[in-house]
Amino acid sequence: MTSIALIEAAAQRLAGPARRTPLLSSPFLDEIAGRRVLVKPECLQHTGSFKFRGGWSAVSALDPEVRARGVIAFSSGNHAQGVAAAAKGHGVPSVIIMPSDAPQLKIANTRALGAEVVLYDRANEDRDALGAKLAGERGLTLIKPFDEPQVIAGQGTTGLEIAEQAAEEGVSRADVLVCCGGGGLTSGIALALEAKAPGLRARPVEPEGFDDVARSLAAGLIQRNPRLSGSICDAIITPQPGDITFPIMQRLCGPGLAVSEEEALRAMALAFLRLKIVIEPGGAVALAAALFRPEAVEGDAVIAVASGGNVDAGMFCEALERFGG
């Protein structure tokens, strides 16, 4: 199980390879929210998202002989790049299984980070069977995207940094809003805050219509999303919270929040204008909740994790044209 000891051990392995992202702020955002807003920009992490932390944590935790045979992951997005970069940093092979209709840029980026990309046909091929076959033949270790203790521990290092940086800013009581898919980042941060900054409370934020974690927390048992496509916040859409992440979130997190796609785009435009960072729609939902759901947040300050910035120019400019002033 992931514990604070596992997170601190991951932080030691990540010191150097991972980037310590700063804590950003702007008086203009404070004014919109009606309280201090502190933003943790994980878009500035290697590969453009927090996923590098979990990927590096998991790859570095493997027994060297096992690791040398290589790793495998299923992902068309940020997890793919995080695992590929972590494997490359360790000098071991990685295989990333992606749908053949994934964007060319994501395929090219993952290859450029040193991964062997294996494409499959969503309609006619069984992804899991293909992965199991490759893993068996080559002795590859599967790195799951969130429901894996060492991945959660890596994401939790974000929470260790937030605890230290919030204390430097004089913030000891606040909601920490986290963009939430399967719950790896949210549960990791929640565990870190429990140990290091108990006055800070992690809360998951999701897109409206895909708020499986918020509903699961409210119901007290795991709920599924009715659909998995059709959101611009694709980076954080998962079927349901994880079997490992959910009990952690249930024990430690405050109620979940949900924002509209339009609010995510507005938050992207404000992050451009006021913080000079690039965030993707799925990485903007926590900042959107901090800015546009002030009545649902407690305390004089709020911390929002901007979890990733892998957005294409077209989508980004749509946000700026609609809301960028």
105 binds a copy of itself (CB under 8 A): yes
Q: Which is nearer to a copy of itself, 48 or 131 (CB)?
A: 48
- For residue 229, the tally of other CB atoms under 10 A from its CB is 7
Pick from 5, 12, 19, 122: which binds a copy of itself (CB under 8 A)? 19
Nearer to a copy of itself, 24 or 83 (CB): 24
Stretch touching a copy of itself by CB under 8 A, among 24-32, 133-141, 205-213, 214-222: 24-32
Q: Which is nearer to a copy of itself, 275 or 297 (CB)?
A: 275
Q: Which CB atom, from 109 or from 238, has the smaller least distance to a copy of itself?
A: 109
**Which residue's CB is nearer to a copy of itself, number 210 or number 316?**
316
How many of the chain's residues bind a copy of itself (CB under 8 A)? 32
User: Nearer to a copy of itself by C-beta: 103 or 230?
Assistant: 103
Pick one of 27, 64, 91, 226: the residue that binds a copy of itself (CB under 8 A).
27
34 binds a copy of itself (CB under 8 A): no
When binding is defined by CB under 8 A, the residue of 3, 8, 20, 240 that contacts a copy of itself is 20
- Residue 281 and residue 156 in contact, taking contact as beta carbons nearer than 8 Å: no
* Burial of 168 (C-beta count, 10 Å sphere; 0-12/13-18/19+): exposed
Distance CA 235, CA 237 (A): 6
With CB under 8 A as the contact rule, the residue among 6, 37, 48, 232 that binds a copy of itself is 48
- For residue 78, give every residue at least 6 positions away whose Cβ sits within 8 Å of its Cβ, in sequence order, or none: 47, 48, 49, 50, 51, 235, 308, 310
Based on the shown chain and the rule CB under 8 A, indicate whether residue 28 belongs to the binding site for a copy of itself. yes
DSSP E strand stretches across 121-208: 141-142, 174-179, 200-207
Q: With binding defined as CB under 8 A, does residue 12 bind a copy of itself?
A: no
317 near a copy of itself, judged by CB under 8 A: yes
Candidates 54-62, 68-76, 116-124, 314-322; binding stretch for a copy of itself (CB under 8 A): 314-322
Phi and psi (nearest 5°) for 253? -90, 150
Give the C-alpha distances (Å, rounded to integers) separating 258 from 56, 160, 321. Answer: 30, 25, 24
- Asked whether the beta carbons of 110 and 74 are under 8 A apart, the reply is no
Distance, CA of 265 to CA of 319 (rounded, Å): 5
- Assess contact for 72 and 140: CB atoms under 8 A: yes
Nearest-angstrom CA–CA distance, 115 and 95: 6
85 versus 190: smaller Cβ distance to a copy of itself? 85
281 sits near a copy of itself (criterion: CB under 8 A): no
Buried b (16+ CB within 10 A) or exposed e, 100-120: eebeeebbebbeebebbbbeb
Q: Which two tokens stand for residue 83?
A: 């695992």
24 binds a copy of itself (CB under 8 A): yes
Tell me which of 83, 200, 233, 275 binds a copy of itself, using CB under 8 A: 275
- Residue closer to a copy of itself, measured from CB, 69 or 88: 88
Give me the least distance between CB of 219 and a copy of itself, in Å please.
36
